[in-house]
Structure 1
Amino acid sequence: MMRLLVAALVLGTMGSVPASAGELRVGAAREVITPPPGTPMAGYYFERAAEEVHDDLFAKAIVIESGEMRAALVALDVITTTRDLVVDARRAIEEATGIPGDHVMISATHAHTGPVIADRSRRSQSLGGGSDLSQRYREGLPAKIAEAVRRADAAKVPAKASAARGSESSIAFNRRFHMVDGSVGWNPGKRNPRIVKPAGVIDPSVPIVYFESLDGDPLAVYVNYAVHLDNVGGPAISADLPHTLSKLIAEFKGPEVVTVFTAGCCGDINHIDVFWAEPQKGFENAARMGIILAAEVLRNWPKLEDVEDVALRIDREMVALPLPEISPEDVPEAEAVVERHRSGSTPQPSFLETVNAYKVLDVAARDGEPNEVEVQVIALGDLIAWVSLPGEIFVELGLEIKQDSPFQHTIIAELANGSIGYIPSRRAHGQGNYEVVSARCAEGSGEMLVDAAVRMLKALHGEAIKE
């Protein structure tokens, strides 16, 4: 354990960037990133390919400039980000705009109706990521992300920012439940009589940041909410909930406004109310959720408060997260399970056997090297801070960060600047089931991320107060 702690400290803080006060300038843009037909789609443990497009996927970017400092907030309508993708996109952004790559936060909305984002993981390679279409999509994505940022940067105008926070508790639910046999179940099904109660909470907060020109022209709306985007399934490309959210805000503020949605900490949160018998699936439910979330944003529009201090402060840390323990014997067993799963031979492995097998192979491939992940904070004055976290984060970890953050509006974007998959809390590790079985990091890793985020938040806020 001491060796891992030392590794975390050696990777350590990358050093905060000093504040830059001055006129606030903001630009926003979106770039279509819809994949071609036939592209393997992400989200599940079986292969499927895109057959049609229900609505386009976008890379959406907001560029914020204060004095000599610039930062970019980017959201992608895809399942995840990978570290290699972020490195490539940041390099392209820096070349196109001069914005330092370390000042760019790139997150995924976690839509399950988008393309596989090819990487070196065994699951990605086995379930479509190794295909020519997936490889070509991944190779072309950094340039499209950079183009969104370039256009946003070129569109900057003198601007002002305002912020508010809503609360919406009717479309997000903890998907882990205490069961009558003493276990903790995962997605146990609607009206399951064996459910006792939820095993966790939700985060109902809806942070809203609005940017407009000094002439009152709308530029961008940033909305964050903690819920899995898994309404639709099937072979049609869709951004899920953010499609309706963006459409409705555009009806209110005009077609030029860019609505950026990011996923809060929702590793154990989904859209399914198990106590409601009606099905909750398909484009209809995605639209329903988008309408409700848009209504909450618009309901709180009169509560937007101007941001007076617009100095930008940026910090980031690389944190070494330990690997879960596996034994040498686990690897050949995992290979056999994956082969049975892929070939369709009978008997098929159980779902959790399959999940564990892919995890074992990914962990073994690291050859003992811990996961080096990034936590980033971009602060606007002493009021707003955006935090990136590198995976599907359990909700209680996000709530801990918000509770300990000195910023009034602390906005956490998960699946940002790379992802290592599920990151459960210590409490959840003792309960087991899907997310814990899937986790590529050891118990306590989530709390290490909380510590890093809170440390940077306090330091940046302290700098703001001193000035």
Structure 2
Amino acid sequence: MQPMRKKSINVLLVTVLLLLGLAAVLLRPLDRTPFTKTDYYATTLRNLQQRPAYVTQGDTVRVGWAKVNITPPAGTPLAGYGKRLGMDYESVHDSAWARTFAFSNGKTEAYYVALDMLIVPMQVMRRLEQVYPKLGLKPEQVYLTATHSHTSFGGWGKKLGVSLMSGEYEEELVAQLTRQIVQSMQLARQNLQPAKIGYGSVKAEGLVKNRLLDDPENPFYPDRNKTRDATLRFLKFEGQNGETAILSALSAHATILPSKTPELSRDYPGELVDELERHVDFAAFSAGAVGSQSVVYTHGDTYQSTQEVGEELAALLWQQLQQITCDYVYTLGYDRTRLALPEPSWRIATDLRLAPFVFNSVFGQHPAYVTSLQLGNVVFVGAPADYSGEFVARLRQNAQAQGLQAIVTSFNGGYIGYVTPDKYYNLEEYETRSMNFFGPHSGSYLTDIMLRQLRQYGQAKK
């Protein structure tokens, strides 16, 4: 064999060995073990049993509400789209707020916080947990949510994968936001008053679509209109002093506005609450089970579209509001269950994933919880994810069988990616491939725990 040829073969052999070694370090086969047979599921079940929902029957539930402007100055990053590359906004179209409800029945108290942001940032949740003891609270007493506007501010993500969606991390912004949320809680607590509470809902069929099944080539395309959660759900509060407040939730992404416009806005949720506050004293909105679901609009990615969607939703709600009967309630409960998670399954092929250390180095490791809040016979259930609207029907049916009404929200201070029905896992779509972080059974697993948490409230009624 000629020396040059032998040398080339040796180089090729070394290269192949290096690539195989690199693949062994960076890649793992996908684990499709059913979640019911895993250690992480067993751990979460123990968490549920050891710290069940805390439900109290007390005096009339008193309610207070308050809002605090949380808009940082121009020059802060926008959050919501990686393709922005952390672009700063230059102006504010409509300000972002922390809108908070406080509840007390004499035996315990709880809070509902809705932020005009993409998510409740993990760093902010961690900061809040350090402050709660000073307020005489435990973390489970504060139910966190967000509107999921993709044109609100960022600056709250440390790891590379998070900062691509939210811009460069700003320590003072996180500290300031924490202080503002606490301020909103304190103001709401100061405004507590006996209040009647009523639950209502209205269909918004023409305003919601299942975007995951939008492609006619998708094998599940025929089911696209059967797999939506197109209901606007809300609570009406009538204070003893004559004031009225509304808390609403809808399962549709706030993604009307374009990604490249350097302007901060709350998207359609802002138009909805502003329109409602023309008629009532206070309004707040939370993103429901928005995974796979988009809002439908007709005038392109413009403020005309956000205004029309917001006003149409407000009109639907207002029409239904007149028929809602409110009563005093006495039950106040809450829960927060720590979710044990499987190894990350950030895939590069159908059955091939990156090693967990790669995912953790890009996105970090953050605790995740299922959260819940009970007011009378209404239970809010919060997911740490873009949780699919397709799961809502099952959760609501389970709740109704126990004499309860369930309202599902997303983005409760943790984030485990998009959580969609298991049957879609092999679809080569953004939500099921790039943003499905924890494997083929994450939808069934998370829904199972949420159902179990709901059952605890049903058992407390008996």
TM bin, normalised by shorter chain, reads 0.7 to 0.9
* Partner residue of 1:224 out of 234, 249, 266: 249
What is the identity, as a one-letter code, of the residue corresponding to 1:17? Y
Question: Matched residues in 2 for 1:394 and 1:224: separation?
Answer: 14
Partner of 1:430: 426
Residues of 1 paired with 2:222 and 2:397: CA distance? Answer: 28
Output the CA distance in 1 between the equivalents of 2:133 and 2:458: 27
What TM-score do you get using the length of structure 1 for normalisation? 0.82
Q: Which runs of 5 or more residues in structure 1 are unaligned? A: 185-194, 335-355
Q: CA deviation at 1:422?
A: 1.2
Shifted more, 172-181 versus 235-244: the winner is 172-181
Describe the shift of the 1:366–1:128 C-alpha distance in structure 2 as closer, same or farther (beyond 3 A).
closer
How many residues align? The count is: 415
1:126-275 to structure 2, matched below 5 A, reads 126=164, 129-131=167-169, 134-177=170-213, 179=215, 181=217, 198=224, 201-218=227-244, 220-233=245-258, 234-253=261-280, 257-272=281-296
The one-letter code matched in structure 2 to 1:432 is: E
Q: Measure the CA separation in 2 of the matches of 1:326 and 1:23.
A: 48
Q: Output aligned runs, 1:438-449, within 5 Å.
A: 438-449=435-446
Runs of 4+ displaced beyond 4 Å: 178-184, 356-360, 363-367
Structure 1 residue 363: Cα displacement:
4.4
What TM-score results when the alignment is normalised by the length of structure 2? 0.83
The aligned residue for residue 352 of structure 1 is: none
Secondary structure of the equivalent of 1:243?
A: helix
Q: Give the letter for the 2:370 counterpart.
A: V
Does residue 67 in structure 1 map to residue 106 in structure 2?
A: yes
> Are 1:291 and 2:285 matched, yes or no?
no
- Per the TM alignment, residue 295 of structure 1 is displaced from its structure 2 partner at its CA by 0.7
Q: Deviations over 1:231-280 (max 9, x none)?
A: 11321111111222122212112xxx22110111011011246xxxx543
Partner of 1:350: none
**2-structure distance, mates of 1:224, 1:122:** 31
Indicate the SS of the match to 2:277: helix
Name the CA distance, whole Å, in 2 between partners of 1:200 and 1:235: 37
Q: Structure 2 CA distance, aligned partners of 1:32 and 1:454?
A: 35
Whether 1:78 and 2:117 are equivalent positions in the alignment is yes
- d(CA) in 2 for partners of 1:181 and 1:238? 34
Mapped to 1, the partners of 2:282 and 2:356 lie a distance apart of 37
Give yes or no for the alignment of 1:100 onto 2:138.
yes
Q: 1:375 is aligned with what amino acid?
A: V
Secondary structure of the residue aligned to 1:85 is helix
Partner of 1:3: 39
Q: Distance in 2 between matches of 1:199 and 1:422?
A: 20
**Matches of 1:318 and 1:212, distance apart in 2:** 34
User: What residue in structure 1 maps to residue 153 of structure 2?
Assistant: 115
Query: Is the CA contact 1:20–1:69 (under 8 Å) kept in the aligned structure 2?
Result: no
Q: Find the aligned partners of 2:101 and 2:453 in 1 and give their Cα distance.
A: 22
Residue from 369, 383, 390 that aligns with 1:389: 383
SS state at 1:26 partner: strand
Determine the C-alpha separation between the residues in 2 that align with 1:221 and 1:178: 33
SS of corresponding position for 1:212: strand
Q: Cα gap change, 1:196/1:426 in structure 2, threshold over 3 Å: closer, same or farther?
A: closer
Tell me the secondary structure at the aligned position of residue 137 of structure 2: coil
- SS of aligned partner of 1:170: helix
Tell me how far apart the structure 2 counterparts of residues 237 and 174 of structure 1 sit (CA, whole Å): 26
SS at match of 1:321: coil
Partner of 2:330: 310
Separation in 2, partners of 1:175, 1:41: 23
Conserved 8 A contact 2:236-2:247: yes
Deviation sequence 1:411-452 (CA, Å, 0-9, x none): 111111322221122022132310011111112112222111
* Alpha-carbon shift at residue 179 of structure 1 (Å): 4.2
Residue 402 of structure 1 pairs with residue 441 of structure 2: no
Cα deviation code 1:182-225 (max 9, x no counterpart)? 567xxxxxxxxxx877386211222111112223222x210011
Amino acid at match of 2:262: P
Q: Cα RMSD between the aligned structures?
A: 2.7
Shift of 1:66: 0.9
Letter in 2 for 1:51: E
Query: Shift of residue 136 of structure 1?
Result: 2.5
Contact 1:20 1:67 in 2 (8 A): no
Cα distance in 2, alignment partners of residues 175 and 379 from structure 1:
31
Shift of 1:400: 1.9
Q: Tell me if the contact between 1:129 and 1:135 (Cα under 8 Å) persists in the aligned partners.
A: no
Q: Secondary structure at the match of 1:62?
A: strand
- 2:414 paired residue number: 418
Distance (whole Å) between structure 1 residues aligned to residue 344 and residue 416 of structure 2? 12
Alpha-carbon distance between aligned partners in 1 of 2:395 and 2:313, rounded to the nearest angstrom: 23
Q: Which residue of 1 aligns with 2:25?
A: none
How far, CA to CA, are the matches of 2:355 and 2:319 in structure 1? 44
Deviates more, 1:116-125 or 1:432-441: 116-125
Q: What are the equivalent positions in structure 2 for 1:316-395 lying under 5 Å apart?
A: 316-325=336-345, 361-363=358-360, 372-381=367-376, 383-395=377-389
Cα distance in 1 between the residues matched to 2:226 and 2:342: 25
The match for 2:452 is 455
Identity among equivalent pairs (%): 22
Q: Supply the distance in 1 between the matched residues of 2:357 and 2:78 (Cα, whole angstroms).
A: 23
Any unmatched runs of 5+ in structure 2?
Answer: 1-36
CA gap 1:417/1:180 in 2 versus in 1, 3 angstroms: closer
1:269 counterpart letter in structure 2: Q
For 2:363 and 2:264, locate their aligned partners in 1 and report how far apart those are by CA, in whole Å: 33
Per-residue CA deviations over 1:344-372 (Å, capped at 9, x if unaligned) read xxxxxxxxxxxx999994346689x8x74
Structure 2 letter corresponding to 1:146: V
1:235–1:321 distance in 2 versus 1, CA, 3 Å: same
CA deviation map 1:371-429 (0-9, x unaligned): 74211221122x21111110101111222211211354211111113222211220221
